[in-house]
Amino acid sequence: MRIGELARESGVSVRALRYYEEQGLLSSERSSGGQRMYAETAVDRVRFFQTLYAAGLSSRRIAELLPCIDTGHTTAQQRTMLQGERAELDRRMAELAQAGARLDDLITAAESRSQPTPAL
């Protein structure tokens, strides 16, 4: 699969894919014409990276976790790292839930003020 096709299939830019390669997160082979060629499994891998980025993990942290992602085995240090990332994600989700509740309060207040007054 060529880089443009991978970008379309995974929903990221070509530039992002090149960045993933620079960071050691993604690998490709080169065609005889020098074009990057990716395995079909690269689509799921890139989508997984996007999920981890959205969860707040850095490319460096993702690279540190690649061995356990690829093999399914973790060291005690990697498990501690994963648990720390999960705790941070839980903290951020709690903050987002609080922000959502405050927005709900604002919406409710705005809706109650914008109701037309009944005719007498």
For the chain, the structural domain boundaries read 1-57, 74-114
Q: What is the mean pLDDT of residues 7-23?
A: 95
What confidence tier does 83 reach under pLDDT thresholds 50, 70, 90? very high
Quote the CA–CA distance of 120 and 112 in Å, as a whole number: 19
Fill in the amino acid letter for 91. R
Residue 120 has pLDDT above 60, yes or no: no
Quote the CA–CA distance of 80 and 76 in Å, as a whole number: 6
The DSSP symbol for 32 reads: T
Both tokens of 29, joined, read 């082979």
What confidence tier does 69 reach under pLDDT thresholds 50, 70, 90? confident
pLDDT for 119: 61
Q: What is the mean pLDDT of residues 96-108?
A: 95
Quote the CA–CA distance of 4 and 13 in Å, as a whole number: 8
CA distances from 106 to 74, 102, 113 (A): 45, 6, 11
Instruction: For residue 83, count CB atoms less than 10 angstroms from its CB and return exposed for 0-12, middle for 13-18, buried for 19 or more.
Output: exposed
Q: What is the mean pLDDT of residues 84-113?
A: 93
CATH T-level fold of 1-57: Multidrug-efflux Transporter Regulator; Chain: A; Domain 2 (1.10.1660)
Question: Per mean pLDDT, which of 74-83, 91-100, 108-117 is the most reliable?
Answer: 91-100
Contacts of 3 (CB under 8 A, 6+ apart): 14, 17, 18, 28, 35, 36, 38
